[in-house]
Every structure is written in structure tokens, then in C-alpha cells.
Amino acid sequence: MKSIASISFLKIEDCYRNTRFFLQSRSVAFFSIGVLFFFHSTLNAQQCTISNNTITLAPATCAGTVALFQGTVPTGGSGTYTYQWEASLGNCGEGSFYPIPGATGKDYPVPENANGNSCYRRIVTSGACTDESNKIKIQPGEMASPAPLSTLVVQPTCATGTGTITVTSPAPAAGITYSVDGITYSNTTGVFTGLTPKTYSVTVKYASGCISPAKLVTVNALPALTGSISPNTASFCAGGSQVLTVTGGASYQWYRNGLSISGATSSTYTATQAGTYTADIINGSCKGTSSNSSTVSVTPLPTGSITPSSATICAGSSQVLTVTGGTSYQWYKDGVAINGATTATYTATQAGSYTADIINSAGCKAQSFRFHTIHR
């Protein structure tokens, strides 16, 4: 029994020594692991620092918004950043913030339906690092619709032919593009040239992708040119002509019965045909139509003959000659006008060759068809 007891004691003592060694060994191991974990955690903490995460409040710029939170570009972390904007109703308490769905951009445009008594912050994540920005609470007076765009319009002139729209505010900046149709946003200067007359919808797209309220800007039509043709009406005898004159432009285009007359581009046109004449009045890119037209008519020449065609008279006798076809006449003997001989009949007392001008009511004149020769 003693020996058993002794043996048992020795075994117990050996067990105690082994256990103490084991515990001491484990303590050393745990201590070593703790030290390594501490240094590892410290190193990770040093590598996991995100800086420059600050937000500021600016006036709204985009349609449907009442304010704009702008965030700085962070530094530190892994160099790649994601964002989540958060809001808290009524206060800026740490435990009351909730993520705003879809608010994952560097900046945050506050929508019109946002609660007017909220606090905002931005959470930046970079790899395993996370950082919280400063907090800003919007006051009711700080919420307002965006200010309208500022534009300058240069209207078309006869010299230029087209207009220009320049967006003066907001000025060109990184990420800002401009449009005059609400579809194409490729303009980075805010200057649109060569615009034809119409109303344009001018908008700005910001770096965040949101679009400003539209501003309607009208490019006016070119100035209308006016001028008139003189005379309003004209008539001339067949074979004659009439000079027409138009005013109001630098160059012109004449028309007869609606058809353009080739080469007729000066302020005057000599009409040789009956018809209705109009003109385009041109000055650079400006063009107008004459305020009136000119109606030109052509009067046919009269025709007639003398009877008898020949006659013989004795000395001291005479022969009555008669001409037809006009309203007045002029008789000639041997090509020389007979003074006062202007009626349809003429009593010839001398031998010779007699002719007559036939004049109608329009003043048109033609010579009789036939000569009349008187012999003795």
C-alpha cells in the first residue's frame, strides 16, 4: 500500500509538473500570439486611415433638387473609394442615421421631397477601411430650387445669317457639359454658334450626371426686307419696252408670272413682254418679297390702208384719199409730213406718193399698208 501510495504520489507530482509546464508553455504561446495580433492590428490601423472626407452644403443646381452636398475626394485607404450618404431625421445623433437608397455618388443632390429637418453625412469605404465625414443639418431656409441658367443671345443679322447662344452661368468646369436640345451633351464651352431661328431648350449636365432645369432661349428670324416696284402698272406698244424699278435690297431676283427671269438681278428690269412682275429683295442672308407687283400690258400696233390705191387727176382738180384703222393719223407726201393733215381723209391736189401713219387710242403708231400714187 505504501509503495502504491508512493507511486501514486509520484505520478500525481509528475502530473502537476507536466501540467504546470504545459500551462506555462501555453501562456507563452498566448502571449506571443497576443503580441503578434497587437502589432498586426496596429499595422492594419495605420494602413486603414482615410483622410480628407469632408462635406459642404451648396445651392441646388439640378432639376428637382433643393440643395447640393459636395464631398471632397478622399485620400488614404486602398486608393479606391465607394460612398454611401446617410440621413438622420431631426438630429445628428450617431445612432439615428440610415442609408439613403441610391445615394452612392461623391456628391449628393437633395431631392425636392426630402425632409426639411434632416442631418446628413457621408460614409467612405476603401478596402477594409471606413470613414465618417462631418455632419451637416439643413435648415429650412437653405432649401431652394436651382437658380435659372444665365445665357447671352446674339441674334442673326443679314450679314451673319445665324444666331449664337452662350451659357454664362454656370461657367465651364470639369465634368460640365451643355446642350441646346436636351439630348446631346458634348459641348464643353457653353457656346453654340450657327443656330437657325427657333426656340432652344438649354440645359447643363453636371459631373454627378444630374441635369439643370431647362431655359428656353429663342433665336429670332432674320429681319424681313421690304421694298416696292414702280410703276404699279404699265402699257407699251408692241415692239416697245417698259423699265421697272425695285428698291430695298442690295441685290434682287425678278419674276414674270411667278417664274424667275434668268440674269435679272439688278434693281431695274426692262420688260418687253406682257405679264405680272414681282421681285425678291436680297441683302446678305436676308430676303423678302416686293410689297407689290407690276402689271405690264402690250398694245398691238394698228393696221390700215389707203384707198384708192392710185388715181389720176387733171390740172386744177383733186383726189380724196381715205385711210382706216386708227383714231388719228398723219399724212405724208413723198415721205414728208403734211402739216395739219391728221384726219382719216386727205384731199390731194398734187401728184406724188402718199402714205399715212395710223395712230390708235393707246398712242401706238404704224404706217399704212399701201402707198397711194397720184398721176397727172
Q: What is the pLDDT along the chain (376 residues), one digit of tens a residue?
A: 233 333 232 333 343 344 333 333 334 333 333 333 333 334 344 457 999 999 999 999 889 999 999 999 999 999 999 999 999 987 888 778 999 999 999 999 999 988 878 999 999 999 999 999 999 998 877 889 898 999 999 999 999 999 999 999 999 999 999 999 999 999 999 999 999 999 999 999 998 888 999 999 999 999 889 999 999 999 999 999 999 999 999 999 999 999 999 999 999 999 999 999 999 999 999 999 999 999 999 999 999 999 998 888 888 899 999 999 999 999 999 999 999 999 999 999 998 899 999 999 989 999 886 666 777 6
Query: Do both 155 and 215 map to the same domain?
Result: yes
Q: Is the distance from CB of 201 to CB of 212 less than 8 angstroms? A: no
Parent domain of 280: 229-299
Query: Do both 57 and 35 map to the same domain?
Result: no
Is 183 within a domain? yes
Grid cell digits, residue 76: 488614404
Q: Is the distance from CB of 256 to CB of 279 less than 8 angstroms? A: no
Burial (CB count within 10 angstroms: exposed 0-12, middle 13-18, buried 19+), residue 57 = middle
CA distances, 212 to each of 164, 209, 242 (Å): 20, 10, 63
* Residue in 160, 158, 197 with CA at minimum distance from that of residue 283: 158
Is 224 within a domain? no
Q: How much of the chain is helix, strand and coil, in % rounded to 5?
A: 15, 40, 45
Q: What is the pTM of this model?
A: 0.61
Q: Is the distance from CB of 337 to CB of 330 less than 8 angstroms? A: yes
Query: Do both 109 and 70 map to the same domain?
Result: yes
Pick from 299, 315, 343: which residue ends a domain? 299
Antiparallel, parallel or unpaired: β 233-237 and 294-299: parallel
Q: Is the distance from CB of 272 to CB of 297 less than 8 angstroms? A: no
Total domains in the fold of the chain:
5
370 CB-near residues (< 8 Å, 6+ apart): 305, 306, 309
Is 315 within a domain? yes
Is 62 within a domain? yes
Other C-beta atoms within 10 Å of 145: how many? 13
